[in-house]
């Protein structure tokens, strides 16, 4: 996030109760959240922008949320090998974009107009289809975001 306010992400209750990254968690919950994150990645920019509070770095949160649930599903072997390929390709693509260090890619402007976000949406749709999930807007997020103090 460039300047502005820090936001704090309060994870769902299941994560607060000791399920750290890489630990076992209910498979249905993980798959449900993976589906939601893919649906959000596949959604039009307007849907993506409306999904989070205004003080959140929205493009960043979309990618971070997908990475969280993809890694959990992968670590728990919840997705068969033939279905994991498009999901892993999407996660790798987002990782490459992140490692490029182009902070402009993670802006709302880029989310709306950058052709690379169109590629992300297409890859997410492919992932949804591979999993047999519908390409539709995700349900409302169960997560809570808390507005933080101004960044120094």
pLDDT (tens digit per residue) in 18-77: 444 445 569 999 999 999 999 999 999 999 999 999 888 999 999 999 999 999 999 999
Domain regions of the chain by residue span = 8-134
Residue with tokens 């994560």: 15
The answer on pLDDT for 2 being more than 50 is: no
Taking the C-alpha atoms of residue 20 and residue 152, their distance in angstroms, rounded to an integer, is: 29
**Long-range contacts of 62-68, Cβ-Cβ distance < 8 Å, separation of 24 or more:** 62/37, 62/111, 63/94, 63/97, 63/98, 63/106, 65/37, 65/40, 66/34, 66/37, 66/38, 66/40, 66/41, 66/90, 66/91, 66/94, 66/124, 67/91, 67/94, 67/95, 68/21, 68/33, 68/37
Provide the whole-model pTM. Answer: 0.81
Asked if 141 and 39 count as a contact pair (C-beta separation under 8 A), the reply is: no
Q: What's the confidence (pLDDT) of residue 147?
A: 81
The answer on pLDDT for 8 being more than 80 is: no
Confidence of residue 90 (pLDDT cuts 50, 70, 90): very high
Task: Report the chain's mean pLDDT, rounded to a whole number.
Answer: 85
């Amino acid at each position: 996030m460039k300047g502005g306010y820090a936001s704090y992400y309060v994870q769902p209750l299941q994560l607060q109760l000791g399920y750290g990254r890489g630990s076992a968690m209910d498979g249905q919950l993980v798959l449900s959240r993976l589906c939601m994150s893919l649906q959000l990645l596949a959604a039009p920019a307007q849907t993506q922008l409306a999904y989070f509070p205004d003080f959140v770095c929205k493009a960043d949160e979309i990618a971070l949320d997908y990475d969280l649930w993809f890694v959990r599903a992968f670590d728990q072997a919840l997705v068969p090998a033939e279905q994991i390929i498009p999901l892993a390709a999407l996660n790798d693509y987002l990782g490459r974009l992140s490692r490029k260090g182009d902070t402009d890619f993670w802006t709302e402007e880029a989310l709306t107009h950058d052709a690379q976000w169109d590629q992300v949406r297409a890859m997410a749709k492919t992932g949804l289809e591979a999993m047999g999930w519908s390409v539709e807007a995700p349900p409302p997020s169960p997560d809570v975001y808390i507005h933080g103090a101004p960044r120094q």
